[in-house]
């Protein structure tokens, strides 16, 4: 019976570890490439987060190189509506909700209050 309770406790801990907060340090290193869209809580469909689909490389805590534009953007991570938001300051301001799935997987979803509301991507570090 003790083993059963220990198993339940471990499952609870593992479940609670999902959707960790994203920090600048989590993003630095490698190139983040959109491999799918994100719908109904899972990666599926085509990526829809232009200009971040082709790849982005976070160089430091302020700068990201974007492959689509072949230039650097400034970016910020801020708290927003019970979660985290990432803003990219390029030719226009891109604002997305961001969630960390694992060390090499993140999700970005357009904010409901922005012009990218229907945009979302599942990104993997390459």
Residue ranges per structural domain of the chain = 19-125
19-125 under CATH 1.10.10, yes or no: no
Q: What band does 1 get if pLDDT is binned at 50, 70 and 90?
A: low
Look at strands 32-36 and 105-110 and give their pairing: unpaired
pTM of the prediction? 0.79
Are residues 64 and 56 in contact, defined by beta-carbon separation less than 8 angstroms? yes
Over the stretch 75-107, which tens digit does the pLDDT of each residue have? 999 998 889 999 999 888 999 999 999 999 999
Give the up-direction half-sphere exposure of residue 1: CA atoms within 13 A in the CB hemisphere.
0
Over the stretch 32-73, which tens digit does the pLDDT of each residue have? 999 999 998 899 999 999 889 999 999 999 999 999 999 999
Secondary structure letter of residue 21 according to DSSP: P
| Between 45 and 2, residue with greater pLDDT | 45
Give the residue from 110, 103, 109 showing the smallest Cα distance to 124.
103
């Amino acid at each position: 019976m003790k083993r059963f309770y220990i198993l339940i406790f471990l499952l609870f801990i593992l479940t609670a570890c999902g959707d960790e907060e994203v920090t600048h340090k989590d993003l630095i290193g490698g190139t983040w490439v959109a491999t799918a869209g994100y719908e109904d809580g899972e990666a599926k469909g085509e990526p829809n987060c232009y200009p971040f689909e082709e790849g982005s490389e976070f160089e430091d805590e302020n700068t990201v190189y974007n492959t689509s534009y072949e230039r650097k953007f400034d970016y910020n991570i801020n708290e927003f509506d019970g979660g985290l938001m990432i803003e990219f300051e390029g030719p226009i301001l891109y604002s997305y909700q961001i969630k960390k799935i694992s060390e090499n997987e993140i999700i970005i979803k357009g904010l409901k209050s922005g012009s990218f509301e229907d945009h979302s991507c599942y990104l993997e570090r390459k």
